[in-house]
Amino acid sequence: MRTADRTTANTPRSGPEMLPAYAVCVLTMLAAITWGIVTLTHIGHPALRTVRLHLAADHVLVGLGIALTGMVFAARRTARVLGWLMLCSGCALTLAQVVPQTAVVHGAGPRVLTAVFILVMVAFTLINVIIYPMPLWLPTGRFPRWGAPYVAFTALFSAAQQYYVFTRPGFVYYGVETPISGPGWAGLERLLTPWMDTASRWVPPFIAGVGILLMAVRWPRTAKSDRPYAILAVPYLLWLAVIAVNQYGDPPMGFEVVIVYLAAASWPATVGYVHIRERTWALDRAGRRILTAFVLTFGLFMAYAGGAFVLDYFAPGSLTPESGLMACLTLLVGFLLRPTARWAARLVDRYYYGERAQPYQAVRALADRLSHALDPGDMPRLLCDTVVHTLRLPAARLVISTRHGERELARLGSPGSGDEAFPLVHRDNAIGHLYVPPRAGELALDQQDREAVRILADHSAPAIASLQLYEELQTSREQIVLAREEERRRLRHDLHDGLGPALSGLRLQVDAARAAIPPGTRATGSLAAVSEGIGQAIDELRHITGGLAPAALDGADLPRALRQLAEHLGRNLRITVSLAPEPFPGLPAAVEVALYRIAAEALNNVVRHARAGHAHAAVVLTPEAVTVEVTDDGSGVPEGGAPRDAGVGLRSMAERAEELGGTFDLVSSGTGTVVRAVLPRTAGTGTGPGDHVPGTGGSVR
């Protein structure tokens, strides 16, 4: 087979098309487990005392091994039919043990037992029809067209043989004499009696011999590369050996059990051999889980059945119901011990260290939180929150590099001088660093903490990189705003303190010259026109300087300007102002203008729309930010939204906060409204950690 053809043919099947195979696998496992439980809990039952339990267990083992092999083969497109046949035969062999056993120990009636015996007959017939023609599938895994007569003959003989065995008077299966009797059954039984005893001894070897001969003829005609299933000849020959031992000899029980164990184990062993040789096996997640459970069931069944046989062989009478139940309890404890220990260790580790033992769980939780975040700019804050609250580390801060210097995007906790820097690398470029200090009492992060933070940094780097361009733009925007307002302040002062007084003095001189000239002369009229023009220029200059910055800030600091604003607007309601700290320090011009404009617009909205009795404006300065908050006890924003002019004002306030890298919030209820803007204390300076408030943009929420 060509390599490309083999790759295509061995493509695993998955999804809905494998669900029936998975269902048969689960049925086989449940049947085996049920047989073991019923045997252990009813080991003293009279019907089970007449059964050679080690042989019944061997049949279950062989059924599990064949079904396990068939499940994997069913996932290969070139062996789909062969896999299904093996899967069904293994399931049938297992059901042929558990169904009659369960029916007998629960006292089923004659009609149920008749149906059970018919089911067992069909199961054993199916096994012979599938297993005996196995050589015809080898070594290629493809059944020849001329093999149909061979299969038909095998099916007819197997059906007749099983019918003859199960309808003979006196036949006992699981301690119950065959219920298949009556005139209708007896006629066919009399027809088979003269020759079936002899045929049962010679026809099975003949069928097996013909199959082996056909396989031997086909083998040399097949290229070595086209023999992926040749290894199945080994378990097939062992299966023939088991039949020969049971039918033609009376070996010691130990030898009989050993050879059956070898036959049972050889079926899944072939799967492992082919997998190691070809590396073409693959299953979907559901298939891998079922296969894992199947292998575990098979292994445990072999171990417990073998242990029970050894115990009964060397210590007869020791296999009692009590010992069986104790074995079941031991098995249950063994199953629960490892997950319980793992759960306890995880609980202790999570209590002290968070999710550092499972960093990818932390990454998944971070990704889930980001998917529900309203603002992509929340990524820095969520990353720091994951480091502190999920990994239980004391603090975290995120700093990125821009053309204007380092810019801190988020901080949580209190980082110290011993912070360890974890670079955020995107496309081989370090776009920033995540700084994390060691735990309390430790000089440095341990290896597990370091690995967990590194994984978080690596997975967050692409998302942080998408914010870097925005941060550079925001920094440039803030610098432009700062430069604009500082230049406006300087220009206003120059115009107000320089050009304004100069024009006023010039007008006085013109007026003085006009007063010295006799009235009615031509010069008097000219000087009057000049004086009036200078006055108009002075008025225009006042309009220009008033537009450059709020007039209230001209020659006054921010606290006095806000108090004057409160006095001016507080004619119909009581307005109070508070600032912290006192005395309030000076701020950059852009920050002071933004604070004053936001407070003025918010108080103006209260006066015009809130129908409030009291309003309060508070300005609080911290090392990182300055907050202006205006509260009132009015009716709040109507459900239909703010009035048109109030809505324009809200947008204006949000834009003023955003252009400086701050945030804007409005919270309204029936008992009042809170307007809050948070601005960086030194916006746009790019001076490093601690100079920028966490957050990357403004929004009205």
The pLDDT of 127-143, averaged and rounded, is: 82
Q: CB pairs under 8 A, 24+ apart, for 463-466?
A: 463/370, 463/376, 463/379, 464/379, 464/380, 464/383, 464/398, 464/400, 464/409, 464/424, 464/426, 464/431, 464/432, 465/424, 465/426, 465/427, 465/431, 466/376
DSSP 465-517: HHHHHHHHHHHHHHHHHHHHHHHHHHHHHHIIIIIHHHHHHHHHHHHHHHHHS
The pLDDT of 530-547, averaged and rounded, is: 70
Q: Which residue's entry shows tokens 């013109």?
A: 510
| Torsions phi, psi for 515 (to 5 deg) | -70, -25
pLDDT at res. 618: 92
- Using the predicted structure, report yes or no on whether residue 214 has a pLDDT greater than 60: yes
Name the percent of the chain lying above pLDDT 90: 4
Average pLDDT over the chain reads 75
Instruction: Considering only residues 287 and 583, tell me which one the structure prediction assigns the higher pLDDT.
Output: 583
By three-state DSSP, how is residue 345 classified?
Answer: helix
Instruction: Considering only residues 363 and 524, tell me which one the structure prediction assigns the higher pLDDT.
Output: 524
Percent of residues in the chain assigned helix, strand, coil, to nearest 5: 65, 10, 25
pLDDT tens digits for 28-82?
A: 989 988 888 888 777 777 877 777 777 788 788 888 888 888 887 787 766 788 8
DSSP 426-456: ETTEEEEEEEEPPPTT-SS--HHHHHHHHHH
Instruction: Considering only residues 472 and 681, tell me which one the structure prediction assigns the higher pLDDT.
Output: 681
- Using the predicted structure, report yes or no on whether residue 362 has a pLDDT greater than 60: yes
* Strands 396-402 and 429-436, bridge-based pairing: antiparallel
Name the percent of the chain lying above pLDDT 70: 69
pLDDT at res. 629: 92
The answer to whether the pTM exceeds 0.75 is no
pLDDT tens digits for 67-98?
A: 888 887 787 766 788 888 888 988 998 999 99
Cα separation of 701 and 666, whole Å? 6
pLDDT tens digits for 446-500?
A: 787 888 888 888 878 887 777 666 666 666 666 666 666 666 666 666 665 666 6
Instruction: Yes or no: say if 463 and 497 are a contact pair by the CB < 8 Å rule.
Output: no
| Torsions phi, psi for 416 (to 5 deg) | -120, -170
Cα separations in angstroms, 623 against 271, 582, 682, 690: 69, 15, 10, 8
Instruction: Yes or no: say if 56 and 97 are a contact pair by the CB < 8 Å rule.
Output: yes
Other beta carbons within 10 angstroms of residue 437's beta carbon come to: 21
pLDDT at res. 9: 45
Q: Which residue's entry shows tokens 């099975």?
A: 204
- Using the predicted structure, report yes or no on whether residue 554 has a pLDDT greater than 70: no
